[in-house]
Structure 1
Amino acid sequence: MRKLLQYLKPYKNETVLTMLLHLIGNAMTLALPLMMSLIINKGINNPDHTAGLDYIKKVGLLMLALSAFGAVVSVTASYFSSKASMGFGANLRRAVFRKVEALSECDLEKIGTPSLITRTTTDINRIQETTIACLNIMISIPIMLIGGTVMSIVMNRKLALAILVVIPVVALITYFFKVKVIPLFKSEQKKTDTLNKILREKLSGIRVIRAFNRTDYEDERFRQANLDLTSIGLYICRLFALLWPIAFMLLYSLLIGVVWIGGKEIDALDAATHAAEISNLVGDLQAFLIYILIVVVAVSLAAALFIMFPRAAVSCRRVLEILNLDTMIHEPVKPKAFPKNDGSLSFREVSFGYPGASEPVLSGIDFACSAGEVTAIIGGTGCGKSTLVNLIPRFFDVTCGQIVLDGLDLRDVSLHDLHEKIAFVPQKATLFRGTVADNLRYGKPDATEEEMWEALRIACADDFIRSNEQQLDLEITQNGTNLSGGQKQRLAIARALIKRAEVLIFDDSFSALDFKTDASLRQNIRQSMKNTNIILVAQRVGTILDADRILVLEDGKICGIGKHEELLESCSVYREIVESQLTKEDLAR
């Protein structure tokens, strides 16, 4: 929790003002019962009715003024506490989001996307709620408890002993609830993560679920997870529902006991000889009851805060787990600047294995490519093609060897500088909510309309964009669900092309295109990106026939490297792939 408080530092003035205002407000609250006692003792019970009425007016107006001022103080304190807690929550949420952005694929899989969403929303909201509760009542509890106890003793020492009976009972009840509820809070958060995971899978895979007629199965999974979360939530609510009747029972028992003892004291006095004392005792008893109520409220608030802390502590640990996560990808302590900008790239005996895996995914990868060349990578499923290109933007770091770009090891330059040199089109085309222009500006924020249309032309995407009335202002839904697979891929390619990066990576990015569009797009790229180092992962042989260099992967190793004609003669793996896709007539051409 201490580490999280650094995000509250920008609001330290608001925090101090909140505590100061609550200090003033509680001091006035403690003064009001005493003034009410004086009104009863010196005003209502005054034999001189005129003097008594004047006293009531004077003290009454003072009470009204203090009450009005207290209301202003309370509202102002609430404003500052809300500003501080909301700002704290925003800063913390921003820090978590930035940390998540810096995590590698392995780091993200370790926690899981549904859990990350829950921690960034529900957990931070809970921490924020606890913060505002602390700011509003943390300073009030000791003032109300100590001040109420002292004033109760001043009013009547004998009756004040009742407080010593109530506080230990409340403390025992609070401790019982703490021990009982903390494990339930942890379980509740885990079940929330599980529910979010199932919901995310269902929403992202809704077409597959319907296609295989598994709606009933998924409904049952969701129903069971929802029932588990509901059950534990209801159990926690029942425990808290039991707490309040017990608290009120104790409160009313205490008040009844105080009134009974006070009544016995009054009854023991002789009305003829102790009239003034009886009169004063009535006012003091009224004030004493309010002070007892203030003490009980303070103890109840402390108990509520004591129960709230464990729940927030669970959320704090979950948020800190993200903030303290040691990511696999580290920025260099002293990043170097690229000495040249020619787009030359080389893999030098590179090996890579996922954490915990017994065997490496890639072994002994060694090749070089330069600007103006097209390097294609082909191989069977699971041979490591995508993993290889994911090493270039440092989505993962090599286990052994090094990757050198423009004369520098990738690990010696900042991620920002590295990513400035690279444009990447992943296997699954990802588009963002917004217009076509908004998505293209992900590649180049200051892109002009002419540059956008040129990128769309090269990517063979200008035809369907021009055919729409909105053209560049065409709204794209989340993940591009209002476009076909081929349209999404072409827009993702256009977004990469508009960047004009030195290294252009296509990770099987033509898979949703027909053969004609595939050929046209590759020809456009060849003509328009002559000074770019292009690396192309493909499953289709037809996509890589004209590549300057073809890497053939098998079991994470390069088993062949060369041009198409050379590999047909020298690499049996490549020849098998070609023969499985092309006819003898195609090969003869």
Structure 2
Amino acid sequence: MVKTICAQIKEYKWATITTPVFMLLEVAMETIIPLLMASIIDDGVNKGDTHHIYVMGIWMIFAALFALICGCLGAKYGSKASMGLGKNLRKAMFRNIQTYSFANIDKFSTAGLVTRMTTDVTNIQNAFMMILRMAMRAPASIICAMAMSFFISPQLATIYLIAVILLGGFLIFISTKAMKYFEKAFEKYDELNESVQENVSAIRVVKAYVRENYEKKRFSKAAENIYKVFTKAESLVVCNTPLMQFTVYACILLISWLGAHMVVGNELSTGDLMALLTYCMNILMNLMMLSMVFVMISLSLASARRICEVLNEESTLHNPDDPIMDVPDGSIKFDHVSFRYSKSSETPILSDINLEIRSGETIGIIGGTGSSKSSLVNLISRLYDAGSGSVIVGGHDVREYDMDTLRNQVAVVLQQNVLFSGSILDNLRWGDKDATDEQCIEACKMACADEFIETFPDKYDTHIEQGGTNVSGGQKQRLCIARALLKKPKVLILDDSTSAVDTATDAKIRASFAKAIPGTTKLIIAQRISSVMDADKIIVMNNGCVDGFDTHENLLKNNKIYREVYDAQTNGGGDFDEGGAA
């Protein structure tokens, strides 16, 4: 875990190394100052040597200034190193997330990933800053002050040693107990972020169903859970302060009492007693700082584990050693394909699928909810890998292709259409970043999107809000289809992506496909038989199996499910889940 986190220091190694060096130099100066003070009292004030007072005073000023400069430089480079580590951690996590397959993404919740890249990284930053500065400064200061105390008076220095041992043991005990609560706290953060994310992204639904009070209660519950866990953790951590203060004052009283007797008995000089009191405060204050470091490290360990989970997660999909960099055509073949989302699942999602589709064909896919239509097409662009059997595109197993090459030639318009903040042209150029305005307009005409775009005041420069919240569902679907068409793919998959489009527009889109992209293999998933009845062939899915694969006319004659659904839809409506699809 430490190795994984430290690997992200990278270009900030110099700042990481110099910060503790400056901290140690600051400690050295702070250790010298009490000795100079003792010399002023014993050899200057007591002996009436004004010259000695001036000389030692000047040395004290230089030592204090040098300590100040070292402290400032330590703070500067410590901030640079810790902020740099945070930046690199976020970049590394984001880069690794981009390599995830759908199976990897399913493992982490969106809210959990957001928490890891925000709250968890911030905790690591703060802890790293504390480690570079306080974790180096405090132990060094304690050791130096303890050594000087034993040099001056071993008898009185023993008091410090006993206090340090007792407090150190108590701090370890507290940190261990608090750690358990901190680990639970971040799980609660995930729940809080999930509540906020869902509420904001679905605010229209919340208001439409007047569920504001429910959402408030849900958020309050998540916030209350975090409050309770952190209260338990902090109730332990807060014990540090009173115990530390009690120890500080007890040591001062003991040293003052015993030291006064030793001064009277000429066993100790007044200056040495002052130096010992200064070292006492130095030791115990730095021990308090060390306790804060322990708490911060305890807090960050839970964050570090969660970050390492994301960084160390390897994609379940990998490019072959010598990948094929060109997809010859849009032919597709499923050869005894079976698939499970999880290896532990008893029942496969897809069972022994055998299909053969020629390049340029239009294939309809229909089936009831849960019949694995989307799972079937997800294997074509290798969003998932088949558990057994082979998915062959262009005459080659999809696992033989470079994944970027394959996905550039297999355009998918998913069920959940997503648009990004920016202009319409910006969104369209996700399909082809170098597409001209004319190419974008042509793609929109094929997708029947130009009809509504031309009604906007800014036309193709119209700004799209995040998620496409300022356009309707049907408009969003047509923009996503146009975006996919700009890829000029060999295979185009429309995963129920015209469900929000009226029947007439749906027919126009299909007609434009037949005319404009005749060489592209088109797979159209739909609930309406009218959307697929003109296809070359239609796949009927039922419970993860292919129940039928033929033309519309032949399926009407030979496939019971297809015929019952067709009758239900042509005799007054209904979708595939009604009228015999089960």
TM-score, with normalisation over the residues of structure 2? Answer: 0.93
**What residue in structure 2 maps to residue 494 of structure 1?**
482
Matching residue within 340, 349, 354 for 1:361: 349
Q: For 1:70-119, what per-residue CA distance to the aligned partner results, in whole angstroms no more than 9, with x for missing partners?
A: 22222222222222222212222222222222333333333322222212
Q: Are the equivalent residues in 2 in contact too, given 1:170–1:303 (CA < 8 A)? A: no
Which residue identity lines up with residue 570 of structure 2 in the other structure? L
How many residues are paired up? 571
- What does the per-residue CA deviation read over 1:227-264, in whole Å, with 9 as the maximum and x for residues that have no partner? 12112222333333332122112112211221122212
Between the aligned partners of 1:413 and 1:289, the Cα distance in structure 2 is 74
Match of 1:587 in 2: none
Contact 1:338-1:408 within 8 A present in 2 as well: no
- 2:360 corresponding residue in structure 1: 372
Kept after mapping to 2: 8 A contact 1:338/1:406: no
Q: Does 1:30 align with 2:31?
A: yes
Aligned to 1:105: 102
Say whether the 8 Å CA contact 1:339–1:407 is kept in structure 2: no
Which amino acid is the alignment partner of residue 388 of structure 2?
A: C
1:144 to 129, 132, 141: 141
1:419 partner letter:
R
Tell me the residue number matched to 2:504.
516
Q: Which moved more, 1:290-299 or 1:543-552?
A: 290-299
- Name the counterpart of 1:3: 4
**What residue is the counterpart of 2:565 in the other structure?**
577
Task: Report whether the alignment pairs 1:234 with 2:234.
Answer: no
> Which residues in structure 2 correspond to 1:467-482 (within 5 Å)?
467-482=455-470
Question: Where does residue 197 of structure 1 map in the other structure?
Answer: 194
Q: Distance in 2 between matches of 1:45 and 1:472?
A: 88
Distance in 1 between residues matched to 2:504 and 2:403, nearest whole Å = 37
Worse-matched range after superposition: 204-213 or 360-369: 204-213
Report the RMSD for the aligned CA atoms in angstroms: 2.1
Write the letter of the residue equivalent to 1:284: D
Note closer, same or farther for the CA distance 1:342–1:333 as it changes in structure 2 (3 Å cut).
closer
* Secondary structure at 1:151 match in 2: helix
Whether the 8 Å contact between 1:127 and 1:315 is mirrored in structure 2 is yes
Identity of aligned residues (%): 35
- Matched with 1:46 is 47
Once residues 73 and 491 of structure 1 are traced to their aligned partners in structure 2, the CA distance between those partners, rounded to angstroms, is 59
Q: Which residue of 1 aligns with 2:158?
A: 161
Tell me the equivalent position of 2:330. Answer: 343
User: Could you tell me how far apart the structure 1 residues matched to 2:73 and 2:454 are?
Assistant: 56
Q: Does 1:323 align with 2:286?
A: no
What's the offset of the Cα at 1:326? 4.4
Out of 51, 54, 59, the residue aligned to residue 62 of structure 1 is: 59
Query: Tell me, what secondary structure is at the counterpart of 1:365?
Result: strand
Moved more, 245-254 or 102-111: 102-111
CA-CA distance at 1:39 after TM superposition: 2.0
Helix, strand or coil at the partner of 2:76: helix
Match of 1:18, as an amino acid?
A: T
In structure 2, the residue corresponding to 1:546 is in which secondary structure?
A: coil
- Pairing 1:119–2:116 present: yes
For structure 2, the 5+ residue unaligned runs are: 573-582
Q: In structure 1, what is the Cα distance between the partners aligned to 2:84 and 2:101?
A: 28
Instruction: Confirm or deny: 8 A CA contact 1:339 1:406 kept in the other structure.
Output: no
Structure 1 residue 321, shift from structure 2 partner: 2.1
Question: Amino acid of the residue matched to residue 351 of structure 1?
Answer: S
Secondary structure in 1 aligned to 2:356? strand
For 1:139, what is the secondary structure of its paired residue? Answer: helix
Q: Is the contact between residue 320 and residue 399 of structure 2 (CA under 8 Å) also seen in structure 1? A: no
Match of 2:179 among 150, 174, 182: 182
The residue aligned with 2:514 is 526
In the aligned structure 2, how far is the partner of 1:91 from the partner of 1:368?
47
2:576 aligns with none
Deviations 1:486-535 (A, max 9, x none): 11111111111111122111100000101121111222222221221111
Q: Name 1:546's counterpart in structure 2.
A: 534
How far did residue 300 of structure 1 move? 2.2
Which stretch has the larger CA shift, 197-206 or 288-297? 197-206
SS of alignment partner, residue 233 of structure 2? helix
**Structure 1 spans left out of the alignment, 5+ residues:** 270-276, 585-589
* Counterpart position of 1:387: 375
Give the match for residue 274 of structure 1: none
Paired residues of 2:341 and 2:349 also in contact (CA < 8 A): yes
Q: Is contact 1:338–1:407 with CA below 8 Å preserved after alignment?
A: no
CA distance in 1, matches of 2:141, 2:43: 26
Q: Hey, what does 1:272 align to over in structure 2?
A: none
Query: Whole-Å Cα distance in 2 between the matches of residues 129 and 333 of structure 1?
Result: 41
Measure the CA separation in 1 of the matches of 2:412 and 2:144: 66
Q: Residue 508 of structure 1 contacts residue 536 of structure 1 at CA under 8 Å; is this kept in 2?
A: yes
Partner of 2:390, secondary structure, is strand
- Paired residues of 2:366 and 2:539 also in contact (CA < 8 A): yes
- 8 Å Cα contact 2:327-2:406 kept in structure 1: no
Q: How far does residue 458 in structure 1 lie from its aligned partner after superposition? A: 1.5
SS across alignment from 2:7: helix
Which of 246, 250, 256 does residue 247 from structure 2 map onto? Answer: 250
CA contact (8 A) 2:331 2:360 kept: no
Matched AA of 1:458 = M
TM-score, normalised by the number of residues in structure 1: 0.92
